[in-house]
Every structure is written in structure tokens, then in C-alpha cells.
Structure 1
Amino acid sequence: MFLFLGKNLYYCEEVPGAEKYFIRSLERYLRSPLRLTPEPFCFIQEGMNFLRRAQVMYHQRPDAVRESCEERCENNYTMTMFFLAQAYGALQKPNLSARFCCETMSRQLESNTSGQRSPEIKERDPFDPKDWIRNCCAMSDFFVNEGMFWTAEYLLHSGLVMCERSQEMAGMEPENLAELRAECLRDIGNMYATRLKFARACSECPDAWEEVWRGERKKAEADAASSVPDEGTRLCFRVAADREERPPEGGEGPILWDKVFPEVVYLEDDEAQDNQLAEEHEATDELKDYEEDVLSVEFFVLFVLSKHPDVEL
């Protein structure tokens, strides 16, 4: 009842009142001995406005939830990824925001092209290939500016594949398909041009490319951050709408904290993955050889262009 009252208030833009009911429903659910059973678990996941905790819930979900409510659980988690992208963007953490944007897009594509979604959910929340293609182009711009050309290239070619196979993959063909395909090809050309400029800069200053491409520019910031101990975030049930202390909401005894519902959560796992994302990959010997071949081709292109100064990158 508290959960649905909170939803009604939220949809009516009564956010403080909605938060109050959401928190009360969350506390009651966490005190319930049935919290790990499928139906209550999915309600907790849906009402959990602490996004990092929602991540933990999804990754630690019990087998009973996987067997009976997996589609619902997956949809809730996709929304968690979407909100995390917005939250990290507002916190001025663009790499983490980009990571969760891409993960949201990946989950959208997988769930809408694999036949996992029921017809009712598809009708309520249709998948638009046009928006997905344009999001690929927008995200590629971010990765190009970060020097992560392979990731940008992957996104652009993914958008191009969707242009060519949207009817087969998504069951519909977006409007202005020729225009979308032209946008993808234009951005692919711009990406390659920027990569050639980067390769030229590497040839002129070979010591700088490792620092830029491997994300070492973040090392000083990461070292400084690691020197400050992270105390984590403890779950609190008090909200601004509560003007005075109130007794616990229902249930008996204290809340039992465990790996699915931890009392304290930490964000360093997200930060560690963000740092890995900046490097694009751990360079194995095979990848290093491939990398050298790619740079050799780019340097050859630059050599040819140097003989034809009228051609501009």
C-alpha cells in the first residue's frame, strides 16, 4: 500500500510525500521474512531509490527470483542503469555516466531483439531503433573525445548495423532511414579523421600517446582519491518530510543485513570499473601486435597525405 501511494504521489509531482511512502514501504519490506521471495523482492527492487543498493540486489538475486520473475527483474535493472547514467552525469562523472548509458543501450537491444519481452511490455514501452541509432552516434562523440577510438568505432558500426537490419532485429523500420545511415557514415568518417590526427600527434610526440590512450591522466586523481578512506553509505530511513522521529514501520526485531541487503554499500567497485574502461583493454601480446599494425597503417596514410598537402584530414 505504501509503495503504490508513493507511486501515485510521485506521478502527481508530490516528490517529498512520495519519498516518505517509498521509504516506509522499503523499511517494511526489509523487515519482512518474505523479502527474498520473488514478488516482494521485485517490489523492493522497483521501489529502491538507492541505485547502488539496487545494483547489489540484482547481482545477488536468489534463484527463486531468477526462475519466476526474471523478466520483471531485468526490466527493473535496466531502469536502474538508466537512472545511474543520469545520476553520475549530474555528479560530474562523465566516464561512469557514459558507461551506464552504454550498458542501458546494450540491455535495451538484447531484450528487444531476443524475444525476451512480452507483447504487453512491448506495447507499453516500445523500442525505437531511431533513438537507439542516434544514441550510438552521441555516445561515440564522447569516446572519440576521450581518445577511446575503438569503443567509438564499435558504437558507430553498431548503429550502422541497426540501420541495415532494423526490420529484422526490431520488427520495424524507422522513418528517415537513409538520413540516419548517412549520419552514421559521416560520424565514422569524422572518427577516422580524428584518429589519424591523433596518430600524427603520436608520431610527432611518441612519449605522449601512452599517457593519453591508456587513461594515465587519471592516475594522479585516483591515487589522491585512494588516500581517503571510503566509509560507504549506511541506509537511513529518515526523509525530509519526517518532522520528528517516528517508530519503525511494522515487522518485529531489527533488520537482518546480508549480502543481498547490505547495511553499508561502497562505490569503489564502480570507480575501479571506470578506470578499466578508460584503458579500453589490458594489452596482451596479440593485441599489442595488432595495435602496432594499426598504427603502421595510420602512419602510412599520414605519409601519403604529407605528399598531397591539398588533402585535409
Structure 2
Amino acid sequence: MTTDTSDAAGVFEAHRSVLTGVAYRILGTASDAEDVVQEAWPRWSGADRSKVEDPRAYLVTIVSRLAIDRLRSARSRRESYVGEWLPEPVSDLPDGADRVELADTVEFALLVVLETLSPLERAVFVLREAFQMPYAEIGEVIGRSEAATRQLARRARDHVRERRPRFEADRAARRRITERFLQACLEGDMEGLTGLLAEDATLVGDGGGKAKAPLRVLLGRAKVGRFLLALPNNFERFLASVGLGPEEIRLEITEVNGVPAVIGVAADRVITAVVLDVDGGRVQHVYLMANPDKMSHLRVPDPS
């Protein structure tokens, strides 16, 4: 058995970013992804590595299986979650996902859709669409035949395609829409705001019972608009509850999961994030994250 732990550590670290990227896409939470990668280390360091022909594939298999198991248990725990559950947003994308072909697979709105897949469908989708693994190898990861794996992949792709925008805006257009969205909210411009929203727009809030957010999905342009225009006052009440004044919060646009988003910063920490899902130049979905437990992987931008 190979026992050189320094060599094992070097190989593991060389693949850590890829492993974190796999785990994050399967789980939707950066903290759980990091835990899963750490759980993979003793399995790797204690393995007979002399028989491992492809360390990357071996490690991806370990992490994927751990992530699938954790996702299954997480799904049952989320049944008692207060309000709607949203993925955990990140500022720094895993595995070099600033590359266009990877950035699309870590976009926040896609992670929301992936929550509607079964754990196996999600793992197959991630390994195939994000990492281009052959179906036979994915089948070995999940313990299914190649034919069954292809069927899972097809079902997952169809499901995702049905729920993703038909006409996705490019990055520059998203930035412009996000800027107009923030300006309308700050100015109390209901007409300007509803002009940006699709008629059947939805707002999904995640406060986790620890921050103020809608407990149910808001549906319809007018209802979503009214809620958003009330946000500045809600911010002030929140700040007062923690001993801060309204002048101590700043709202700005930065990138969250690789796309423009609005974040609220107070006391040198991110307290909320709003990500827009744009379809054909209109905002179809508004995702409002306020659970403080999910803010730790959002970086406070330099105010300069």
C-alpha cells in the first residue's frame, strides 16, 4: 500500500478546486461542499494509490458519492426549514469557473432548478454537463449501467431545459437590468420596477427563520413590485434591531455566482443578496437571500 502522505497531499491539493466544484454543484451549499472534500481526504490518503490509474477520476468518484449521500440526508432535514430554501451564494467561483463554459453551470438560477432534481439526476447532470465525464464513468460513480445513466441524464436535461429562460440575456444586458432594478427600488419607482418584471414574475426569499423574508413564493408583477419597494424600510428596521443606522448600509452591484447581483453590506459583512433571473429582457425570478448562515461565502467588495 502507498503510504507517502506528502505525495498524497500534493495530489489531493492539485485537484481540490475541481473536487470543491463538483461538490458545490451537487449540494448547492459551499460549506457542505468544503466538508465533503475534507471527508474525502482520509479515503484518499488511506487508499492503495499504487492501483489508482487516474487520481482525478478516483477523487471525483469519492467526492460525488459523499455529496450524493449528504444531499439525500439534507433533503430530509430541509423539510423542517423555515420558509423557502435557496442555495448558498458565493463570490469566488470554484474550479476556475470564471471560464464561460463552467460559469454557466454554477449560475445561481441554475442551482435553484437543480434543487428540483433527484440526487442521482443532479449528480449525473453535474458530472456530464459541467465536467464532460463519459456516461460509462458516471455510471460507475453512481452505481448504474451506462444505459440507465444516459436515461437519467436525458431526464435531467429535459427538466432543466423546461425551467430555464428561453432567451437568456448576456452579461452586459444583465448588468444594465440589475442597475435599473436597484435604481427603481431605491427611488420607489413602481412604474419603472414593474416595467422590468415579467407579468408572472416570482420572488423567492430565504431568511431561514433568522432574517425577515417572505415565507412563501410571491407571484405576479404587482405583488413582487410592492414587496421590493418596501425593502428599504425593512432594511432600516433590520439595522435598528442590531444597533445600526440606515447610513451604515450600502447597496451595490457585484458578482454572485458569476452574474451581476445586488448585495447589502453593513458592519463590514454582507447581510443580504438579490439575484435576478432574466428571460428575454425581463426579470422572471427574484431570489432574495437573507439567512445570515448563508452569507459567509460572499465577499464584501472594496468600497473604492
Q: TM-score, normalised by structure 1?
A: 0.30
- The structure whose residues are more often helix, as a share, is 1
- The structure whose residues are more often strand, as a share, is 2
Q: TM-score, normalised by structure 2?
A: 0.31
- Bigger Rg, which one: 1
